[in-house]
Amino acid sequence: TEVGQAKTTIGSRTAAEHATYMIEAIDGGIGGGRAGDAFAFTAFFDPKEAPVNYSIFGPKFTFTGKMVEGEITIVDPRE
């Protein structure tokens, strides 16, 4: 993660930091984002393993976005 503002830069675009993740997908029906398909990508940052991300986002941050392409399909595992 790299953050830049004015003449200050924190972090790096190439240095990796460990994080664990949880991804939530919502199937709103046929039609992708227009039908209500959505996602949430939550990252968990440890202050020792990911000091830059932890200082920017805290211990947990959820990234979301508008689905502009694609389709989420969640099947019933019992079928």
Residue 33: both structure tokens together: 């984002």
pLDDT tens digits, one per residue of 18-54: 999 999 888 888 887 778 888 889 999 999 999 999 9
Please state, in angstroms and as integers, the Cα–Cα distance from residue 57 to each residue in 19, 51, 79, following that order.
Answer: 12, 10, 40
Q: Could you report how far apart the first and last alpha carbons of the chain are, in Å?
A: 41
pLDDT at 2 over 90: no
pTM assigned to the model: 0.66
Residue 63: both structure tokens together: 């990234």
Q: What confidence tier does 59 reach under pLDDT thresholds 50, 70, 90?
A: very high
Cβ contacts of 65 within 8 Å, gap of 6 or more:
39
Q: What is the mean pLDDT of residues 63-67?
A: 78
CA-wise closest residue to 28 among 68, 76, 73: 73
Query: Does residue 64 or residue 10 have the better pLDDT?
Result: 64
pLDDT at 3 over 70: no
